[in-house]
């Protein structure tokens, strides 16, 4: 189990590193990643690892915005499909902001982003009782660095499946 998990993390690091584009040395921290399910050892179906492997676990937002763009909707549709396949799972949506805002406002902005994802999922038929939200404001960046790439990665809502 541990080995499987590590391989997923390794795959996600690889993908994230590839997607970092022109920014060099972009580091990935935090939990999760954008694994594509290419890992050799498939995680247990319906597990948090399976969710990360099969669906994109996070969506990104424009500066100071909380509306879902086309790519966010696509990712969320994948999440919804997985959640419908495993209807007993529960999730927490973590809303985050980049470092370019004040702490208190960013807490509110993170909540607004998490709520935007929750609203979308509810509209797609995921029961509200399965979804909780939490905001971390700018307290838990996924990518370190004071640059546009890091900020774009940190303005996010991450769906975490409960263990």
Partner 1 sequence: MNVLANALFRTKAGFAALAVGLALCLAAAPARAELRIDITRGNVDPIPVAVPAFGGDDDRAAKMGADIAGVLQADLERSGLFRGIDKQAFIQTFASMQVQPRFPDWQAINAQGLVQGRTATMPDGRLRVEFRLWDVFAAQQLKAQAYVTEMSNWRRIAHIMADQVYERLTGESGYFDTRVVYIAESGPATKRIKRLAMMDQDGANHRFLTDGSDLVLTPRFSPSTQEITYMSYYNGVPRVYLYNIDSGKRERLGDFPGMTFAPRFSPDGNRVIMSMARGGASDIYTMDLRTLERRRLTNTPAIDTSPSYSPDSQYVVFNSDRGGNQQLYVMAGDGSGVRRISHGEGTYATPVWSPRGDYIAFTKMAQGRFFIGVMKPDGSGERLLSDGFLVEGPTWAPNGRVLMFFRQNPSDARGQGGDSYLYSIDLTGYNERRVVTPMEASDPAWSPLIP
* Residue 144 contacts partner 1 per CB under 8 A: yes
* Residue 146 contacts partner 1 per CB under 8 A: yes
Q: If we measure between CA atoms, which residue out of 42, 70, 37, 39 comes closest to residue 56?
A: 37
Provide the 3-class DSSP secondary structure of residue 35. Answer: coil
Number of residues in contact with partner 1, rule: CB under 8 A? Answer: 36
* Residue 135 contacts partner 1 per CB under 8 A: yes
The three-state (H, E, C) secondary structure of 136-162, written as one string: EECCCCCCCCCCHHHHHHHCEEEEEEC
- Range 77-116, binding partner 1 (CB under 8 A): 99-105, 107-109, 111-112, 115-116
User: Taking a C-beta distance cutoff of 8 angstroms, is the pair 141, 99 a contact?
Assistant: yes
Single out the residue of 14, 78, 140, 152 in contact with partner 1 (rule: CB under 8 A): 140
* Residue 16 contacts partner 1 per CB under 8 A: no
Single out the residue of 30, 32, 33, 48 in contact with partner 1 (rule: CB under 8 A): 30
Q: If we measure between CA atoms, which residue out of 7, 68, 60 comes closest to residue 35?
A: 7
Nearer to partner 1, 36 or 119 (CB): 119
The C-alpha atoms of residue 65 and residue 2 are separated, in whole angstroms, by 37
Q: Which residues bind partner 1 (CB under 8 A)?
A: 23-27, 29-30, 64, 66, 99-105, 107-109, 111-112, 115-116, 119, 134-136, 139-142, 144-147, 150
């Amino acid at each position: 189990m541990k080995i499987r998990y590590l391989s997923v993390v390794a795959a996600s690091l690889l993908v994230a590193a590839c997607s970092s584009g022109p920014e060099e040395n972009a580091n990935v921290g935090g939990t999760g990643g954008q694994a594509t399910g290419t890992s050799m050892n498939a995680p247990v179906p319906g597990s948090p690892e399976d969710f990360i492997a099969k669906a994109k676990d996070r969506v990104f937002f424009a500066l100071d915005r909380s509306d879902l763009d086309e790519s966010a909707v696509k990712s969320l549709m994948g999440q919804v499909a997985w959640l419908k396949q495993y209807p007993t799972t529960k999730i927490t949506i973590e809303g985050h902001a980049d470092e370019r805002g004040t702490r208190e406002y960013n807490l509110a902005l993170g909540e607004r982003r998490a709520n935007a994802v929750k609203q979308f999922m509810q509209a797609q038929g995921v029961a509200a009782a399965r979804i909780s939200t939490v905001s971390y404001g700018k307290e838990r960046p996924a990518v370190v660095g004071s640059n546009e790439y890091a900020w774009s990665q940190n303005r996010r809502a991450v769906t975490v499946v409960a263990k």
